[in-house]
């Protein structure tokens, strides 16, 4: 009997959407939060929803349920629902979770979307590139902020 692991397609899909090489913005983590936006341009919630739903970018729906995106098929249940996430976390905490969730949840399987160091088993063409651009991170955070209970 063959065994299939959910992690493999999630990682492949997420890596396939790796952001073009860009200079990473220095990040300051303070008290479990990244309080300063990564870009001068405010995040766009509509673009963030697109990134979350895109199987080649955020691929968040592979693991998370988002009722607001019910038109998108195949929501996962490996991770917690994102419904109400803005009622549980503030903007800076949401930004840190997207940038590097292991700083908040040590044992999480969720990938880091804006990190290039300390990564393991990254294909050569994706090395030294974040999965999302700084603007995409801000767009995702802007969308997540709309998910209140």
Query: What is the reported pLDDT for 14?
Result: 40
Percent of the chain with pLDDT over 70: 85
CATH 1.10.760.10 fits 7-144, yes or no: yes
Greater model confidence, 9 or 97: 97
Query: What is the reported pLDDT for 22?
Result: 66
Q: How far apart are CA 106 and CA 119, in angstroms?
A: 14
At 127, list the tokens. 């090395």
66-125: pLDDT as tens digits: 999 988 888 998 999 999 999 999 999 999 999 999 999 999 888 888 988 877 777 777
Query: What is the reported pLDDT for 20?
Result: 54
Instruction: Let me know: does 65 contact 137? Beta carbons within 8 Å.
Output: no
Q: Could you tell me the pTM of the whole model?
A: 0.82
What count of other Cβ atoms lies within 10 Å of the Cβ of residue 27?
A: 16
Greater model confidence, 51 or 13: 51
DSSP 142: H
Q: How far apart are CA 7 and CA 36, in angstroms?
A: 31
At 88, list the tokens. 């549980």
Q: How far apart are CA 38 and CA 27, in angstroms?
A: 8
């Amino acid at each position: 009997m063959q065994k299939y692991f959910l992690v493999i397609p999630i990682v492949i899909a997420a890596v396939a959407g790796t952001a073009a090489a860009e200079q990473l913005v220095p990040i300051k983590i303070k008290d479990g939060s990244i309080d300063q936006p990564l870009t001068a341009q405010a995040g766009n919630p509509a673009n963030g929803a697109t990134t979350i739903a895109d199987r080649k970018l955020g691929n968040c729906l592979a693991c998370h349920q988002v009722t607001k995106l019910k038109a998108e098929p195949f929501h996962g249940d490996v991770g917690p629902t994102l419904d109400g996430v803005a009622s549980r976390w503030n903007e800076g905490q949401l930004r840190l979770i997207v940038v590097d969730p292991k700083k908040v949840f040590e044992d999480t399987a969720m990938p880091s979307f804006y990190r290039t160091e300390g990564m393991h088993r990254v294909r050569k063409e994706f090395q030294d590139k974040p999965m999302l651009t700084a603007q995409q991170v801000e767009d995702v955070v802007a969308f997540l902020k709309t998910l209140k209970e």
